[in-house]
């Protein structure tokens, strides 16, 4: 009996690493567009005069459309070609950015933001899937995904700072025009550096499945965000239930369709499904606590929005090297221990923040935030790399879309759950702290949010206003302490899950294991469709 000797996957060279740098452009911009409008809202409100409902849609429609179309675009890229989808999305993203910059009405800006969401949904799964096609060696792929994850986290933090800097010198539309040069560079360099890859055996596009995925993700994200913003109410609960029913119908459709849009076999591998869960839990903590951190800097410590954004950027810069460090560490020991360590570090940072007081030193807040951010960056980079490494190349688009969808849901859940915990503590503390004789409307506003209490305190004379503001800041800090302890508990449970469920798993492309097929612990695809490899290499 003869054995075919194992041949190590070819290492990536200068061309592949240069292509990665090109892929970071859309990654940065899509993540930045989530937060870039934070400072621009007062300026565009003064010019476009949107209603309160329109203002909420200006802020939220981008994230809603992005979340709703991720699965669809991941599957579409597998069918028509990931590079083709990426470049089409870059063109749409650039054009929509120009429309948003010069919008003449609130309706026009909402429509442009929706188009940006469509473009973003084409870019995100394509970038991560193309990394899977560019880097076949597990060690190099781990470094590439770590860099990609750092760019994602960095874009969210840089968005408000860049927005504030631009608004000091230009009009509000400039926050959108920064997208145009990067998209032009991507359109020029992409065809030269990025390989094309599609799955010829994917079959016809599942249009009913696409509609069901949209009907599932949009209502779920919308319902969770509305509950986080306004508390439990009939309408958001009904919308959330409708989304869950659509999700169940989507799963049934994918199980029975002849050419399903999403390969549910991905979830049969515990490494992939657990990685999606780990990412969801990490984003749950990131988004759920970031809301408190920003409000603490601005309202409790009295910082301006720009000052708060700059200080908020510091923890992100401080942990920039944690993703590559985690990838290097995972090459020397079981990644289950490294992921669990990341969750433990994050839990420690949250416990540290639970000792926060209104008068705590600024370094105390920044160091604690850097600690929990370090742990979560480790988790997300290794989770992304594990899931993408386990998915065969022809399924990388669907795998990327599932990962991104999990992070969107995790962020929405974090805002809802942790936000509700903090709000409940705040309201309970403020009920006993309100001064006697305060009008009912003012009392309700002060009891609802810290910003409302600050506005009411500004109208009260002398020490009465100071006392109310001091009580509100103390109540908010109590709510923050409860929320971060909740996050710490979730992180501790996630560490146990990582140790239990991920121990011993290896990704394809490691020494002695083939890439994408036949690896210990790897998903076993059907025979590779004819032309799949040539499609991925012909353009190289």
Half-sphere CA count of 143, side-chain side, radius 13 A = 14
Q: Tell me the three state secondary structure of residue 517.
A: coil
* Least confident span in 35-44, 189-198, 482-491, 519-528: 519-528
Residues 457 and 49: their CA atoms lie apart, in Å, by 27
In what helix (H) or strand (E) does residue 457 lie, and over which residues does it extend?
helix 450-459
**Largest CA-CA distance found in the chain, in angstroms, rounded:** 93
For 133-159, write each residue's pLDDT tens digit.
Answer: 788 777 787 788 878 877 777 777 777
**Residue 177 · residue 98 · CB < 8 Å:** yes
pLDDT per position as a tens digit, 65-117 = 887 888 888 888 878 888 888 899 889 988 998 999 898 888 899 999 889 88
Q: Is the pLDDT of residue 55 over 60?
A: yes
pLDDT of amino acid 507: 56
CB 151 within 8 A of CB 377: no
Confidence band for 245, pLDDT divided at 50, 70 and 90: very high
- pLDDT at position 12 is 66
Confidence of residue 523 (pLDDT cuts 50, 70, 90): very low
CA distances from 235 to 25, 313, 328, 412 (A): 39, 36, 48, 17
More confident residue, 415 or 374: 374
Rg (CA), the chain: 24
What is the per-residue pLDDT across 425-435, written as a single tens digit (0 to 9) for each?
888 888 777 77
Share of the chain above pLDDT 90, in %: 9
Residue 155 tokens, joined: 């874009």
Three-state SS across 146-186?
A: HHHHHHHHHHHHHHHHHHHHHHCCCCCCHHHHCHHHHHHHH
- Tokens representing 335? 């990644």
Dihedral sign for Cα 100, 106, 108, 114, please: positive
First vs last C-alpha separation in the chain: 37
> Which of 392 and 535 is assigned the larger pLDDT?
392
Residue 105 DSSP label: S
Confidence of residue 495 (pLDDT cuts 50, 70, 90): very high
- Residue 377 has phi, psi (to 5 degrees) of -65, -40
Span 309-332, pLDDT tens digits: 778 777 777 676 777 788 788 788
**How far apart (Å, rounded) are the C-alpha atoms in residues 228 and 120?**
24
pLDDT at residue number 528: 38
Query: pLDDT per residue over 178-218, tens digit each?
Result: 878 888 888 888 888 888 877 766 667 778 888 888 888 88
Helices and strands (H, E) in the chain, number of each type: 20, 0
Q: Closest by alpha carbon to 290, among 159, 428, 149?
A: 159
Please give the pLDDT value at position 212: 86
Instruction: Give me the chain's average pLDDT, please.
Output: 78
Give yes or no for residue 38 having a pLDDT over 70. Answer: no
In angstroms, the CA 363 to CA 355 distance is 13
Nearest CA among 192, 211, 213 for reference residue 264: 213
The Cα 332–Cα 150 span in angstroms is 21
Residue 35: per-residue pLDDT = 65
Q: Residues 508, 522: contact at Cβ < 8 Å?
A: yes
**Which residue reads 């631009």 in tokens?**
166
Taking 3-state DSSP, the helix, strand and coil percentages for the chain, each rounded to the nearest 5, stand at 75, 0, 25
Closest CA to 158 of 317, 285, 376: 317
| Position with higher pLDDT, 244 vs 228 | 244
What burial letters (b/e) apply to 403-423, b meaning 16+ CB within 10 Å?
bbbbbbbbbbbbbbbbbbbbb
| Alpha-carbon gap, residue 108 to 498, rounded angstroms | 46
**What pLDDT sits at residue 202?**
65
- Whole-number Å distance between alpha carbons of 193 and 18: 8
Residue 526: the pLDDT is 36
Those residues with Cβ within 8 angstroms of residue 396's Cβ, 6 or more apart along the chain or in another chain: 78, 82, 128, 129, 132, 133, 197, 388
Q: Are 490 and 285 in contact (CB under 8 A)?
A: yes
Q: List, in order, residues 6 or more apart from 90 with CB less than 8 Å away.
A: 26, 119, 123, 183, 186, 187, 190
- The pLDDT confidence band at residue 348, using thresholds 50, 70 and 90, is very high
pLDDT > 60? residue 505: yes
Question: If you average pLDDT over residues 49-54, what whole number do you get?
Answer: 76
**Lookup: tokens for 515:** 């890439």
Would the pLDDT of 493 be above 90?
yes
pLDDT value at residue 347: 95
CA distance 93 to 96: 5
Residue spans of alpha helices (H) in 257-334: 270-295, 305-318, 322-330
């Amino acid at each position: 009996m003869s054995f075919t000797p194992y041949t190590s996957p070819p290492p990536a060279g200068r061309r592949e690493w240069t292509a990665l740098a090109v892929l970071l452009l859309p990654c940065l911009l899509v993540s930045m567009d989530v937060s870039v409008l934070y400072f621009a809202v007062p300026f565009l409100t003064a010019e476009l005069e949107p209603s309160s409902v329109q203002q909420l849609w200006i802020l939220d429609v981008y994230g809603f459309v992005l979340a709703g179309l991720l699965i669809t675009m991941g599957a579409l890229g597998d069918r028509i070609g990931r590079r083709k989808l990426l470049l089409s999305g870059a063109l749409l993203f650039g054009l929509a950015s120009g429309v948003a910059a010069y919008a003449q009405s609130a309706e026009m800006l909402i429509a442009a933001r929706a188009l940006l969401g469509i473009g973003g949904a084409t870019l995100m799964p394509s970038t991560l899937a193309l990394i899977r096609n560019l880097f076949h060696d597990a060690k190099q792929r781990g470094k590439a995904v770590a860099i990609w994850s750092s760019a994602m986290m960095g874009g969210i933090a840089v968005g408000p700072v860049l927005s504030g800097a631009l608004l000091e010198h230009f009009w509000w539309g400039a926050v959108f025009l920064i997208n145009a040069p990067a998209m032009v560079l991507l359109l020029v360099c992409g065809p030269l550096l990025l390989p094309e890859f599609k799955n010829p055996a994917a079959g016809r596009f599942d249009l009913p499945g696409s509609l069901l995925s949209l009907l599932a993700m949009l209502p779920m994200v919308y319902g969770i965000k509305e509950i986080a913003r306004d508390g439990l109410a009939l309408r958001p609960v009904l919308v959330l239930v409708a989304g869950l029913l659509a999700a169940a119908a989507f799963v049934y459709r994918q199980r029975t369709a002849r050419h399903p849009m999403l390969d549910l076999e991905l979830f049969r591998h515990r490494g992939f499904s657990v990685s999606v869960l780990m990412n969801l839990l990490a984003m749950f903590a990131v988004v759920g606590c970031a809301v408190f951190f920003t409000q603490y800097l601005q309202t409790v410590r009295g910082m301006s929005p720009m000052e708060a954004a700059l200080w908020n950027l510091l923890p992100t810069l401080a942990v920039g090297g944690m993703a590559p460090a985690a990838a290097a560490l995972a090459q020397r020991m079981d990644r289950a221990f490294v992921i669990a360590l990341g969750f433990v570090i994050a839990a420690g940072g949250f416990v540290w923040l639970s000792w926060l007081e209104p008068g705590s030193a600024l370094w105390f807040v920044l160091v604690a935030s850097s600690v929990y951010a370090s742990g979560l960056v480790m988790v997300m980079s290794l989770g992304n790399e594990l899931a993408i490494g386990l998915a065969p190349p022809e399924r990388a688009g669907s795998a990327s879309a599932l990962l991104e969808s999990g992070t969107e849901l995790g962020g929405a859940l974090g805002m809802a759950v942790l936000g509700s915990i903090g709000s409940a503590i705040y309201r309970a503390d403020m009920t006993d702290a309100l001064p006697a004789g305060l009008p009912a409307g003012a009392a309700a506003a002060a009891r609802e949010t810290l910003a409302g209490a600050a506005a009411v305190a500004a109208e009260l004379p002398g020490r009465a206003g100071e006392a109310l503001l001091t009580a509100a800041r103390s109540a908010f800090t109590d709510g923050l302490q409860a929320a971060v302890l909740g996050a710490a508990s979730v992180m501790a449970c996630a560490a146990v899950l990582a140790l239990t469920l991920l121990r011993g798993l290896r990704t394809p492309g490691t020494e002695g294991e083939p890439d994408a097929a036949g690896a210990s612990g790897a998903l076993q695809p059907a025979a590779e469709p004819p032309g799949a490899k040539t499609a991925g290499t012909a353009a190289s």
